[in-house]
Amino acid sequence: MPRKITKQGLPPLDWLKVFEAAGRHGSFTAAAEEFGATQAAVSQRIRNLEAWLGRQLFIRSARGVSLTVDGESYLPLVHDSLRALEQGTENLFGQSIRELRIAAQPSHLEMLLLPRLREFSESHPELRLVTETVPKRLDFEAADRALHIRYGRGGWQGRDGVLVANEVLQPMAAPEFVSDWRNLPAIELRGERPGWAEWARVTGEIEPETGPVSVDSMGHALRAARLGMGVVLGSRVMAANLLQTGHLACVPAPELATIDGYWLTWPQSLGKTKRQGEILAALTAALRG
């Protein structure tokens, strides 16, 4: 048993936080990773805490660590106390979110965000939702403090993010042309997404003949198909509302899964408090819906 250090009051908060993390993870190594410290530093803080309390909190063995009876009794008290302190601090001094600024390209705002925003807005009436149109990708830098809806593979510098949906491409047409879609011209969509040639190569289907319409926006391509101008290799994510309302329909042809997707990203300074994390989680769920 560690020799008790006779002191009044509470042990240092840093020791308690390290103990809580090690107990929660069941690992000194995981606790060290959470705090960006070394395993030796974590082990030293816990030894200091054990000396302060005069009780052994962990059993050390070659296979790892486990809580003692005293440790198991103390962990929920420390955990609840730290959470209460964190919540109280946030309520009194935390950064309060009153406005969400969401930047995205025009078609992403119109077809991905807005159709999914009503439920989120109704559940968070205290938030003002402000959209910012980003005409081109490079323009995202001018909206660096806003949330972004981005298309790609993630990993944007200086930003955290979560994948909302993978991109899946599916031949689509106006409902009245579905049964005869093979006689429709293919709408060409220029850009980074796989096109009709890649769809034909992967699926083994015959590539439809390219028509006179060539656009550089998925939103415009879906609009052209809705107007009966041809068949589009459309995004199931972007077209979800049009498919649900019957303005577009998937034709009887295979889909093409891609390695890209739609992401919700935010500055790394955001999402640090419980309240901010809850808002980001709720918005993510709405976008995935």
CATH fold label, 99-289: D-Maltodextrin-Binding Protein; domain 2 (3.40.190)
CB atoms within 10 A of CB 142: 11
Confidence of residue 88 (pLDDT cuts 50, 70, 90): low
Residue span(s) of the chain under CATH 3.40.190.290 come to: 99-289
- Class of CATH domain 13-93: mainly alpha
Query: Is the pLDDT assigned to residue 5 strictly greater than 70?
Result: no
Query: What confidence tens digit (pLDDT) does each residue in 102-151 have?
Result: 999 999 999 999 999 998 999 989 888 999 999 877 678 777 778 999 99
CB 161 within 8 A of CB 265: yes
Looking at the predicted structure, is the pLDDT value of residue 204 above 90? yes
Using the structure block, give the residue that is written with the tokens 């606790």.
31
> How many CA atoms does the CB half-sphere of 40 hold within 13 Å?
0
Higher pLDDT, 97 or 25: 25
47 vs 35, more confident: 47
Residue 94 has pLDDT above 80, yes or no: no
Given the structure tokens 């589009």, which residue do they identify?
232
Supply the angle between the helices 28-35 and 39-53 in degrees, to the nearest 10.
110
Q: Which of 56, 55, 67, 54 is nearest to 27 (CA)?
A: 67
Report which DSSP code applies to 158. Answer: T
Average pLDDT estimate for 262-278: 86
Question: pLDDT at position 269, please?
Answer: 77
- Other beta carbons within 10 angstroms of residue 113's beta carbon come to 20
Highest mean pLDDT among 19-33, 226-240, 271-285: 226-240
Tens digit of pLDDT for each residue in 141-182? 777 778 999 999 999 988 999 999 999 999 999 999 999 999
Q: Which amino acid is at 129?
A: L
Q: What is the mean pLDDT of residues 27-37?
A: 90
Tell which wins on pLDDT, 237 or 94: 237
Instruction: Report the C-alpha gap between 46 and 105 in whole angstroms.
Output: 50
The predicted structure's pLDDT at residue 62: 86
User: What mean pLDDT, rounded, does the chain reach?
Assistant: 90
> Given its phi and psi angles, is residue 41 left (phi above 0), alpha (psi -120 to 50 degrees) or beta?
alpha
Q: Please check the confidence at residue 98 and state whether its pLDDT lies above 70.
A: yes
Q: Where in the chain is the domain with CATH 1.10.10.10?
A: 13-93
Q: Taking 60 as the threshold, does the pLDDT of residue 4 lie above it? A: no
pLDDT average, residue stretch 63-77? 94
For residue 134, what are the CA distances in angstroms to 25, 127, 138, 143, 267? 42, 22, 9, 8, 17
